[in-house]
Structure 1
């Protein structure tokens, strides 16, 4: 089941399963979201919650009990409820349940709000602590943008000039090894060689946005000022690029497996609400 938002410039389509954005087209019917061809990667824009990336041994400990959570968490594999629909926005929700409590023993509500505004799609996250104690979580976006044609015709431009040092993954965990991107005027030409070792993981950035160019012409911009971390990823020979604003990232090999001590984790007090948003501007 899907829900559609439309204005004079854009049409967005969202699946209720995972509350996943699966299409974003302009008024000339140009598609900006990856089609989800499973030959490369069968997702479009999954939500990452209550973890981002991979836990050490895919597990953590809480109150002397071991819990297992798969890569990127379970929210992307849940059916969301449509709780509000307006002309230009839609809100989806899931709650903790008997099934989620087996792997994540915390009471929560998670809301996703999609809003169309002229040539922008805003995606808002709300995590509501429904329990009497603190809850630890990470949350992140994973939108894949379609890049038809020659991948090397595209480049990305960071908003600010900065040393773009990223962390390397080893066995899906964050290593201590880093590399720096070769940057000219904040711009990085795209090549598949960049992603031979999986995603580029930036724990912190000064930039609040990243723009995709095709033959030096702006295509779209992702604004992520609320988010401290960023992942950039594709699969070799795949015609898409993921730009992923995150709160949190994979475990390190040295992680204690205590979720409250996890690097990048968010801690939400009882009866409090966490809020963040990012947006996609079509240029």
Structure 2
């Protein structure tokens, strides 16, 4: 089941499965979200919760008891309920249930709120701890921006001049090996070779936004002020780039397994609500 919202500039469509954005078109019917071709990657913009990335051995512990979660958690594979709708906004909800409690022993509600404002789509996350205990979690976005032209015609422009140190993955875990992304006036030309070792993972950035340039002109801007970490990823020869604002990331090989001690984890107090947002702007 799908829900569509629109304004005078944009139309967005969201699948109730995973509350996943799968289309963002302008009023000329130009599509800005990846089509989801399974030959490359069959997703569009999955929601990452209650973890981001991969756990060591897909396992973690709470109070010494083992639980298992696959990469990026379960929210992206679950059916959300549409709980509010206007012409230009839609709110989706996922509640903890018997199935989630086996994998993640916390009572929660996760809300996704999509709102169109002129040429921007704002995507908000609300995590509500419905239990009387502290709840550890991570949350992240994974939107795949469609790149209709040749990959080499695109570049990134980071908001601020900074040293762009990123971490390399080994067996899907964060390693201690780092590299620095070379820039010229904050610009990074796109090249598939950048992603030979999977995603570029930035634990911290000064920049709060990143603009994709098409033929040296602004194309799409992603603002992620509420998210300290960022992943950037594509598949070889695929016509998309994922700009992934994160609160959390994969385990390291040295991780103890205790979810409360996981690097980058957030902790939500009993009966409290966490809120964050990012936006995709067509420029």
The CA deviation at 1:196 is 0.1
Larger displacement relative to structure 2 (116-125 or 85-94): 85-94
**2:76 aligns to what?**
76
Q: Where in structure 2 are the equivalents of 1:257-276 lying within 5 Å?
A: 257-276=257-276
| Structure-2 separation of matches of 1:88 and 1:25 | 13
| Structure-1 separation of matches of 2:241 and 2:80 | 26
List per-residue Cα deviations over 1:23-58 (Å, max 9, x = no partner): 000000100000000000000000000000000000
Gaps of 5+ in 2: none
**2:10 aligns to what?**
10
**1:184 aligns to what?**
184
| Structure-2 separation of matches of 1:14 and 1:207 | 28
Q: Where in structure 2 are the equivalents of 1:50-199 lying within 5 Å?
A: 50-199=50-199
| Structure-2 separation of matches of 1:118 and 1:149 | 25
Gaps of 5+ in 1: none
CA RMSD of aligned residues (A): 0.5
3-state DSSP of counterpart to 2:101: helix
The CA deviation at 1:88 is 1.5
| Structure-2 separation of matches of 1:251 and 1:63 | 18
TM-score by length of 2: 0.99
List per-residue Cα deviations over 1:68-98 (Å, max 9, x = no partner): 0000000000000000001211100011100
| Structure-1 separation of matches of 2:55 and 2:84 | 34
3-state DSSP of counterpart to 2:99: helix
The CA deviation at 1:210 is 0.3
The CA deviation at 1:63 is 2.0
The CA deviation at 1:160 is 0.2
TM-score by length of 1: 0.99
Question: What is the aligned residue count?
Answer: 283
**1:208 aligns to what?**
208
**2:229 aligns to what?**
229
- Give 4+ residue runs of structure 1 displaced > 2 Å after superposition: none
**1:279 aligns to what?**
279
| Structure-2 separation of matches of 1:148 and 1:215 | 12
List per-residue Cα deviations over 1:85-143 (Å, max 9, x = no partner): 01211100011100000000001000000000000000000000000000000000000
